[in-house]
Amino acid sequence: MVKEDLKIIVEDLDFFYGGLKALDGVNIQIPERKVTALIGPSGCGKSTFLRVLNRMNDLIPGTRLEGKVLIDGHDIYADNIDVVELRKKIGMVFQKSNPFPKSIFDNVAYGLRIHGSKDRVILAEIVEESLKRAALWDEVKDDLKRSAMELSGGQQQRLCIARALATGPEILLMDEPASALDPISTAKIEELIREFKEHYTIVIVTHNMQQAARVSDYTALFYLGKLIEFNVTEEVFTRPSEKQTEDYITGRFG
């Protein structure tokens, strides 16, 4: 089905919160430099799956994982994997924008600084570059010392995107990045996603099926922890091979 270069390969993935099985036998191959949308009703495991990819679930006590998650051919749950290095390679944008209560500049520079960059000129360059990529530069360039908390919701989310881009990731994970935004801000974020796929492998969780149809190349439908269908987006929306997919996208459940 997929003929692209593969960035992420997941094999027989089970994921447990304590005794609760949240993901059940997931097999998926996510292509490089494409947008892959994860859709499905609330509680279907799509956000859990997203967080498996940068090991954010490690932070929740009592979670357990079985199966393999390969990124660039390396098992990211192997013992010799440095989680810090892994997360450097994988940017994440959250559902609710979460800039730090610091200046705009310090927000974007944060990732670089924790990884040891001190050179002011380089920092300033990368901050500018990242803000430009996130289409925020023109709105904030006059006062980068301003607190990020003073920005509007849409601007804050683009700031968080700039912050994620600054460390030079190869993969961008987005957990319903536009669900709390107005239609204009949403349109801006979607446009960014379309531009980004030249450079990044993007995995986006969304509740909004129109959004999935608009921005993604591939779509995966999750239901009750299982991957029901994974295919080229157009196929999934026009000729779903599974009955459950058809029911979901036509609004019969979810």
Query: At closest approach, how far in Å is the CB of 197 from other proteins?
Result: 20
Structure token pair of residue 57 = 């679930």
Q: Total binding residues for other proteins by CB under 8 A?
A: 33
Q: Which is nearer to other proteins, 110 or 137 (CB)?
A: 110
| CB environment 44-59: b (16+ within 10 A), e (fewer) | bbbbbbbbbbbbbbee
DSSP assigned state of 25:
E
Looking at 29-37, 65-73, 159-167, 243-251, which segment touches other proteins (CB under 8 A)?
A: 159-167
In whole angstroms, what is the distance from residue 35 CA to residue 220 CA?
11
DSSP per-residue codes, 171-237: EEEEESTTTTS-HHHHHHHHHHHHHHTTT-EEEEE-S-HHHHHHH-SEEEEEETTEEEEEEEHHHHH
The reply on whether position 221 binds other proteins by CB under 8 A is no
Looking at 87-95, 209-217, 226-234, 236-244, which segment touches other proteins (CB under 8 A)?
A: 87-95
The reply on whether position 110 binds other proteins by CB under 8 A is yes
The reply on whether position 167 binds other proteins by CB under 8 A is yes
Looking at 68-76, 110-118, 235-243, 246-254, which segment touches other proteins (CB under 8 A)?
A: 110-118
Looking at 21-29, 55-63, 195-203, 218-226, which segment touches other proteins (CB under 8 A)?
A: 55-63
In whole angstroms, what is the distance from residue 181 CA to residue 95 CA?
10
CA neighbor of 221 nearest in space, from 45, 40, 15, 22 = 40
Among 20, 122, 124, 149, binds other proteins (CB under 8 A): 149
The reply on whether position 150 binds other proteins by CB under 8 A is yes
Contacting residues toward other proteins, per CB under 8 A: 54, 56, 59, 61, 84-88, 90-92, 94, 96, 98-103, 110-111, 113-115, 147-150, 160, 163-164, 167
